[in-house]
Structure 1
Amino acid sequence: MKAVLLRLFRKISLGLSFLVFIGLFLLIVLWDSMVFTTPVGHTSIVWHRLFWSGDRISQGPLSEGLHIIFPWDVFYTYDLRLQYHKQTYQVVSKDGLHFNVDMTFRWRAVPENILILNQTIGPDYLEKLLVPEVGSVTREVVAHYTAEALYTNERAKVQQAIYDEVTDDSLANGICHRDCLEHQDVVVLTDILIKRVELPEHIVNAIERKLEQSQVAQEYRFRVEREKLESERKRIEAEGIRAFQETVTPAISESYLRWRGIEATLKLSQSPNSKVVVIGNSATGLPLILDTSDRLPVNLPTTNSDQAEDGNSSLDEHLRNDQTSLEEVDHLQPMPKQSLPLAD
């Protein structure tokens, strides 16, 4: 009996070992289809292919972390963080000009309505919902503006018009603005930005020239305004000077002016420099004091008359010393005096 039980246990152990081996093999093969991880800032949805409760075939949203499902079920993951996308749209302006506009828009998915998003649109809702909707509204709004408006400071106005149109509640497109959340909205659109406007080169040059001339005209207006203010300042200054003269002139007498002149003359006379004092004939006049400390010596040029006098003196000296013959005297005759030309 004991031997029979031992043989039976060996058979059962062999069968269990085989089942465990098969289970481990299937777990290794189907690991990627059964074990999933929901990253930080994400949520997940499980679509049950065979088993579900009531009318709910999808389960979610699931929290972050590790999740194990059946290999025949489908696991979806959605990013709930703020996302952005760049897209280029070809538009037509109000004046019939064709050009490209580079747009950037930011959005985030609504966690409470993630099941609706998964059932109605799917994980690729960016290409199915946001890109076409923003492009359609952008073309519609730009058609009401000129190309110059997008190239100048009116760009912010165009951006706001596009954002308001995309997030309009009457469209019922599932896109909500950042301050409102309806029951069926699946995406919250944060903002829309116009990054670049690709206008033809000749249009860009024409707009830049127009803006340059506008700035020049504004500069001239500022100049005119400045000259007006300067004229007003001078007028007020002249009125102040006139009022001052009208107030002070009656109080200034001749004796006061003479006293001030005497004080100035005394201060000049106390200077250590050499001076020349010029006194007039008037009894009431004040002396004029000139400073001569900076006078420079003047070297007068030698004239022909001076040279002639030098020649006469040398001749007298030779005659007194009896060292000169008559022939030599003829050669030592002084040069005739010449009159200097008068300066004009």
Structure 2
Amino acid sequence: MLMNKSLKKQKIISYFRSITIGVLLVLFVFVLFSSKIFIKIKSGEMGVLYDLIDGTQPETYNEGLSIISPLNEMFIYSLRTQNIELEQVVLSHNGLKINIKYNVLFKPLRNQITALHQKLGPDYANTVVIPASQSWTRKFMADLTPEDIFLIDKGVLEEKAILNLTKELATMHIAMEGFFISSIKLPDTISNAIEQKFREQEIVHQYDFKLIVEEKERNRKIIEAEGIKQFQLISNISPLQWKALDVTEKLSKSPNSKIIMMGNSSKDLPILLNNDSKK
């Protein structure tokens, strides 16, 4: 009798021990795979599910908590604008090394996340965005001379980059948001030489302008002299006499009293005397 009770007790203990081990094992597996079962998608993100049997699923997962099979995998994509800073050395038209720093802003197209995942995957920035930006920059700068680069408007270059990269990245399900140049640096010797050249050109332009002004002034004086000569031939009055008469007329209008002495000859110049006496 006592033996039967002891056997029953051992069976009960063994039973509960098995249950406890089973529960602990389930809990262990649950904790181990909880990160693969409970997927938290944050604000500004979207998930793409890969099913072990059916492959990439066409539907996407918005922000919130999603529960999936631990055999499947959820890939999270940020929908926010991303910023990558790049620095590269490119060659100008004549082979001169140019250092350029710029920022590329981009984001995945929301309604094409699944296609982006299937074609490129989560590392699409390193796979496509960076190589495409570097390739376009290298090709564009290769068509410019050092002087072109020295004078180039960064805004124009940025607009061209956005226009070209927008078309290229759109085929890869990526939206181009911006292209901003922080610096374009030529070698110091080249930069100084170009600056000196433009300073000298400015001096030459100023000198040419002065020559043009002087030439116009010379032409004006020639025309004036020809006019005076014609006047002298018609009136038989010399320029000096005409000037003297003009001055005499103006002085005679002065409120101060004057004495004007006229010469006997037509060639004599008038003499003006001030009639005011100081007391």
TM normalised by structure 1 equals 0.54
1:41 aligned to 2:40?
no
> Letter of the aligned partner of 1:163 in structure 2?
I
> Match for 1:211 among 174, 187, 198?
198
Q: Distance in 1 between matches of 2:254 and 2:26?
A: 127
Tell me which residue corresponds to 1:103.
102
Q: Secondary structure at the match of 2:66?
A: strand
Tell me which residue corresponds to 2:32.
29
Tell me which residue corresponds to 1:141.
140
Aligned pair in 2 of structure 1 residues 126, 57: CA closer, same or farther (>3 Å)?
closer
Structure 2: stretches of 5+ with no match in the other structure: 1-7, 217-245, 258-274
CA contact (8 A) 2:103 2:182 kept: yes
Tell me which residue corresponds to 2:176.
189
Q: Secondary structure at the match of 1:58?
A: strand
* CA RMSD between the two structures: 3.9
Aligned pair in 2 of structure 1 residues 251, 9: CA closer, same or farther (>3 Å)?
farther
Q: Shift of residue 189 of structure 1?
A: 0.8
Q: Secondary structure at the match of 2:147?
A: helix
Q: Distance in 2 between matches of 1:285 and 1:140?
A: 88
> Letter of the aligned partner of 1:24 in structure 2?
L
Q: Distance in 1 between matches of 2:254 and 2:112?
A: 99
> Letter of the aligned partner of 2:140 in structure 1?
V
Tell me which residue corresponds to 2:188.
201
Q: Secondary structure at the match of 1:30?
A: helix
Aligned pair in 2 of structure 1 residues 86, 252: CA closer, same or farther (>3 Å)?
same
Q: Distance in 1 between matches of 2:276 and 2:161?
A: 90
Q: Which has the larger radius of gyration?
A: 1
Aligned pair in 2 of structure 1 residues 157, 35: CA closer, same or farther (>3 Å)?
same
TM normalised by structure 2 equals 0.65
CA contact (8 A) 1:150 1:158 kept: no
Tell me which residue corresponds to 1:116.
115
Higher relative contact order (CA 8 A, sep 6+): 2
1:20 aligned to 2:23?
yes
Q: Distance in 2 between matches of 1:110 and 1:285?
A: 98
Aligned pair in 2 of structure 1 residues 251, 87: CA closer, same or farther (>3 Å)?
same
> Letter of the aligned partner of 2:195 in structure 1?
E
CA contact (8 A) 1:48 1:73 kept: yes
Q: Secondary structure at the match of 1:160?
A: helix
Deviations 1:285-342 (A, max 9, x none): 6553xxxxxxxxxxxxxxxxxxxxxxxxxxxxxxxxxxxxxxxxxxxxxxxxxxxxxx
CA contact (8 A) 2:48 2:56 kept: no
Aligned pair in 2 of structure 1 residues 166, 17: CA closer, same or farther (>3 Å)?
same
Q: Shift of residue 218 of structure 1?
A: 6.1
Aligned residues: 226
CA contact (8 A) 2:56 2:118 kept: no
Q: Distance in 1 between matches of 2:254 and 2:52?
A: 118
Alignment of 1:159-198 (within 5 A): 159-168=158-167, 173=168, 175-176=169-170, 185-198=172-185
Q: Shift of residue 155 of structure 1?
A: 3.6
Which structure dedicates a bigger proportion of its chain to helix? 2
Aligned pair in 2 of structure 1 residues 11, 140: CA closer, same or farther (>3 Å)?
same
